[in-house]
Amino acid sequence: MDERQRLFEQLVSEGHEGRTLEYKRSASWDDTRFRLKLVRTILAMANTPDGGSIIIGVPEATGVHVARPAGMMPEHVATYREDLVKDEVAKFASPRVDIRMSVEHCGGGDYVWIRIDPFDALPVVCKRNGPDLPGGAGLCAGRVYCRPASGRPRTESVQGEWEMRDILDRAVELEIGRRRARGGTAPSSSPAQPADLAIERFNHEADAVEQAASGDVVDRICAAGYWRFRLQPLREDPEHAPGIVELQELAQQLRISLQGSEFPPLDSTLALKRGRSWAGAEYASPWRLVCWWLFRSGQFLSIQAVTEDHLDEPHMAERPSHWLPDVRYLEVVNAVRDITGWFLYAAGLARHVGGYDSGAALSLELRGCTGRELAFADDRRELEPPRRYDDDLVPFEHSYDRDELVERSHDLALDAMCEVVQHFGWTDPRDVLAEDQARMLGRRT
């Protein structure tokens, strides 16, 4: 038995449909309603990361029951030809969809097996209307059909921004890969090392997702000052990359709670969002506005509002009464908490995710700083003279050995915080910041 036949028998015996597997009862290609529903599923599977398979001759399962292979009626099998299937799909698909059709024999029955490749450049759009079908299952010009990653296996038009963004992210990654391939043989005076290539890919991965992000929370974060925290392994480890469900579990298992804040924010009321290569969330509370993404590559990215810029907004905390109304502040204790929390979370990722055995690159940026002053929410603590920064960006970037990051994460966070506040002209902050951090870690849950 060859590998193709072995795969087919495995798919037939699977018993349950999935995102990349659809069963269909025996039916003739001449059945218009059946044919158009088949085309609709083919368009959707072309927009799925791994493509998919449709097997005709296995009645769909109902409820908790397993689908039982039955085979096709001989008169139905005779109506299928690969050229007919391709021609019908070509009427509706733009760009074209690569499909292969074969008749397979298994367990005493014959089946039609249609294999659909994922798009290799642009998402597949339906380019013309088909006849109306009951239940809204027809084909509509301009629609992008998909197979949702969650819920029961089904074909539907794209319903929301995150599904569309997932498809567009994949198109962007494919284009990046093609551009790299075209320039891959060009000579270089300083050849890129493996870590350099990994960081370049991770940068593209994170930038594409961040640039596509939209919505109320993202808009509120980027409208004022915000932190951008990114952690990257120095080695790609695709063989051990977790799946999307595993990513969600990993985010749950490794989260840190510090002074009442979670890193990353994750609770039972927070709906996780998922892309092809990441899981993440948007979080809004009276004290925090955060968006974060954890990638299958092990990379982590978070953007978080400088809360002090949003005080007194609806549903946000009140501004300390001793702060001047026309001054933008960075509250020191909040900053210590946030930087420490993200470093502790980074240590957990480095400990559990492959690729970090070669080290980690960590970058921390504070954006929207022009005219910002350091301050304490406690009116008994005052910085004299005022510590002010007049540039837009406070950068911090460092590479760490994994063991160093795991074993000294709170010390490294303190180093980063000291470097940040020194931009504001506070030259000897370590003892004060260390005391605040120690109090937090003492209350860590």
Per-residue pLDDT for 247 more than 70? yes
Report, as an integer, the average pLDDT of 86-93: 94
Q: What are the tens digits of pLDDT across the range 94-121?
A: 999 999 999 999 888 999 999 999 998 8
Q: What are the tens digits of pLDDT across the range 57-89?
A: 998 655 444 557 789 999 999 999 999 999 999
Is residue 176 domain-resident? no
Q: What are the tens digits of pLDDT across the range 379-423?
A: 999 898 889 998 889 999 999 999 999 999 999 999 999 999 999
The predicted structure's pLDDT at residue 271: 64
Q: CA-CA distance, 11 to 7, in Å (whole number)?
A: 6
Per-residue pLDDT for 202 more than 90? no
Q: Are residues 147 and 253 in the same domain?
A: no
Q: Are residues 244 and 377 in the same domain?
A: yes
Report, as an integer, the average pLDDT of 418-434: 94
Q: What is the DSSP string of 66-127?
A: PP------HHHHTT--HHHHHHHHHHHEES---EEEEEEEETTEEEEEEEEPPPSSS--EE-
Residue 204 domain boundaries: 198-442
Q: Are residues 149 and 231 in the same domain?
A: no
Residue bearing the bigger pLDDT, 227 or 213: 227
Q: Are residues 102 and 213 in the same domain?
A: no
The predicted structure's pLDDT at residue 46: 95
| CATH classification at residue 131 | 3.30.950.30
Is residue 183 domain-resident? no
Is residue 164 domain-resident? no
Is residue 238 domain-resident? yes
Q: Are 340 and 410 in contact (CB under 8 A)?
A: yes
Per-residue pLDDT for 145 more than 80? yes
Q: Are residues 206 and 89 in the same domain?
A: no
Last residue of a domain, one of 103, 136, 158: 158
Domain total in the chain? 2
Query: b/e for 65-100, b at 16 or more Cβ within 10 A?
Result: eebebebbeeebbeebeeeebbebbeebbeeebebe
Q: Are residues 210 and 144 in the same domain?
A: no
* Helix/strand/coil percentages in the chain, nearest 5: 40, 20, 40
Report, as an integer, the average pLDDT of 30-39: 93
Q: Are residues 100 and 240 in the same domain?
A: no
Per-residue pLDDT for 185 more than 70? no
Q: What is the DSSP string of 336-376?
A: HHHHHHHHHHHHHHHHHSTTGGG-EEEEEEEE--TTEEEE-
Secondary structure, 3-state, 156-219 = EECCCHHHHHHHHHHHHHHHHHHHHHHHCCCCCCCCCCHHHHHHHHHHHHHHHHHHHCCCHHHH
Q: Are residues 101 and 205 in the same domain?
A: no
Is residue 329 domain-resident? yes
* C-alpha torsion 273→279→280→281, nearest 10: 30
Q: Are residues 150 and 241 in the same domain?
A: no
Is residue 190 domain-resident? no
Is residue 241 domain-resident? yes
Q: Are 34 and 137 in contact (CB under 8 A)?
A: no
Is residue 364 domain-resident? yes
Last residue of a domain, one of 105, 128, 158: 158
Q: What are the tens digits of pLDDT across the range 318-358?
A: 899 999 988 999 999 999 999 999 999 999 999 988 889 98
Residue bearing the bigger pLDDT, 108 or 2: 108
Q: CA-CA distance, 10 to 12, in Å (whole number)?
A: 6
Percent of the chain whose pLDDT exceeds 70: 90
Last residue of a domain, one of 95, 130, 158: 158
Q: Are residues 206 and 123 in the same domain?
A: no
Residue bearing the bigger pLDDT, 102 or 200: 102
Q: Which helix (H) or strand (E) holds 22?
A: strand 21-24
Q: Are residues 286 and 424 in the same domain?
A: yes
Residue bearing the bigger pLDDT, 337 or 260: 337
Q: Are residues 154 and 232 in the same domain?
A: no
